Homo-oligomer: A and B are copies of this chain.
Amino acid sequence: MTNILIRSVDILTLDDAGTVLRDADLAVSDGRIAAVGRIPQDFRANEVVDGRGKVAAPGFFNAHTHAPMTLVRGWAEDLPLDRWFNERIWVAESALEEEDVRWGAYLAAAEMIRSGTVAFADHYFWMDHVAEVVQESGLKATLAWCVFGLGAEQEIGGTTLARTVEFVRRWQGAANGRIRTVLGPHSPYVCSPEFLAQVAQTAADLGVGCHIHAAESQAQVDASLARHGATPIGHLTRLGILDRPAIVAHAIYLGPGDMETLAEKRATVVQCPNCHMKLGMGTTRVPDLLAARVNVALGTDGTASNNNLDMLEEARLAALAQKHDRRDPEAMAGDLPLRLATQAGARAMGFAESGVIAPGRPADIVLWDCNRPHLRPRHNLAANLLHAARAGDVADVMVDGRWLLRGGELQTLDEERILWEAERRAFRMVGSELKQVRAYRL
């Protein structure tokens, strides 16, 4: 049994009372938090960590991403959505080879660990490679193999629902429970009603949930109303998709009753504020969703639209977007954005015990190095983390009590090889080494 004692650390517990401890001890035993603050006299540590000047906080749960898209980071800039997809993303993904997915996922895993993410909900293709990267990296993940329902010949990698079912059977609960799986129908605007109903039935048979995109634009809502006589959320509800635990990415444009339906069905809405702002999509109405008792988590979306996997930035933008849109500096106050980025995501992804630093909970912990000028003075640790820190301040990351990052060094991945191989494949995919920057004359 591995016992780790972190001494003299500040702790942002994110428990119900919002407890913040200064200069406290934190004990980890066999993958779980054994004690916080007062450590039992008989606790025998194999490893003692000096926590002075650091803040321990729950790790981030990235509730919507397409990890392997790291390969197209910076390749689709400043474009309207249709050109972004048709001229860039589709071109790149047409050149995607199965092995690319693995290296894109490796690059994403390295970036996520370094920025304090402990788990991610992924939605992409050839997901066995992503699962293997999760297994090797030590991260947690909830994996969905994306299917359009257009027939194997039109799917990337020739995937069918049957093959994604095999994927679920192969990986559910793997890596000591660090890997969970769900079904990944793309969206109500791509998938047919018949296919979605079939997915819903299959999810019920398998006892898993779904991860889907929905309600990203008013045009999608209008088309859904015209075609199906229901909003995208109403349409998904009718087809049974929300009868299983659902991760609904975006959900920006909601109609009357949609919030109540999402709450009743216990679905999770994932806001991706950086992507929404960068593509000019609008703002998920998070305060209203929370008031309606909907679980709201945060995600980065893929790096073709963000351009990073930085969950701290998403939490900050989740606060800024509402304060800005509502002209209300009191919106999304205190530690709320950090809770969306941690415990709400954990709940959505099937790791409901995580996202809090409390005895008995899984030891999914990040240590932030606050011996830095931008993190002093320490009047308010939550505000310092949310509004002043940056991902580069992450010093150590632990998942289920295992170090994935220690003193700024990755413990489970060969970073140098990943940087090289991922970039080599990325350049091959888009046939270029470096595109010229669009220059402005002031």
Contacts and interface: CB of A to CB of B under 8 A. Distances in A.
Contacts of A15: 439
Interface stretch (A187-195, A224-232, A332-340): A332-340
Interface stretch (A29-37, A171-179, A203-211, A383-391): A383-391
A390 B387 contact: no
B336 A440 contact: yes
Contacts of A308: 374, 387-388
A374 B114 contact: yes
Contacts of A77: 333-334, 380, 383, 387
Copies of this protein in the assembly total 2
Interface stretch (A17-25, A123-131, A144-152, A233-241): A17-25
Interface stretch (A161-169, A242-250, A256-264, A415-423): A415-423
Given A12-B437, A377-B73, A379-B435, A372 B442 contact: no
A75 interface: yes
A335 B22 contact: no
A274 B320 contact: yes
A371 B434 contact: no
Interface stretch (A41-49, A78-86, A359-367, A396-404): A78-86
Given A111-B374, A329-B279, A387-B306, A437 B382 contact: yes
A34 B228 CA distance: 66
B80 A388 contact: no
B442 A323 contact: no
A199 interface: no
A303 interface: yes
A170 interface: no
23 contacts: A16-B439, A18-B436, A18-B437, A20-B434, A22-B433, A70-B376, A72-B379, A73-B376, A74-B388, A107-B373, A108-B373, A111-B374, A277-B320, A280-B327, A283-B324, A307-B387, A308-B388, A334-B439, A371-B419, A373-B418, A376-B426, A380-B437, A391-B392
Q: Which 9 A-B pairs have the closest CB atoms?
A: A18-B439, A392-B392, A334-B438, A377-B426, A78-B333, A74-B380, A74-B383, A110-B373, A111-B373
Interface of A: 12, 15-20, 22, 70-75, 77-81, 84, 107-108, 110-111, 114-115, 274, 276-283, 290, 295, 303, 306-310, 317, 319-321, 323-324, 326-331, 333-336, 339-340, 343-344, 371-374, 376-384, 387-388, 390-393, 415, 418-419, 422-423, 426-427, 430, 432-442
